[in-house]
Amino acid sequence: MPAASTPKKAFPLRVEPALWAALERTAAADFRSVNAEIEVLLREALARRGVKVAAPEQRPRGRPRKDQA
């Protein structure tokens, strides 16, 4: 049974089109959504500044097995 996750905070973000295009390219290269890529980049930037952030909850990857559905 998957663990219940806490809801993520929704936040509207206005981004310059050229920056958005770069984010899309980077996310695609890393096989991530743009949202996930932004989260990774924010975590990396905070880590460089010495800010500690709890690791994100790991979700199971892939499809559930047929006997678990």
Q: If pLDDT is split at 50, 70 and 90, which confidence band does 57 have?
A: confident
CA dist 25 and 13 (Å) reads 18
Q: If pLDDT is split at 50, 70 and 90, which confidence band does 55 have?
A: confident
pTM above 0.85, yes or no: no
Between 26 and 55, where is the model more confident? 26
- Give pLDDT, residue 46: 95
28-43, pLDDT tens digit by residue?
999 999 999 999 999 9
How far, rounded to the nearest angstrom, does the alpha carbon of residue 6 sit from its chain's CA centroid?
14
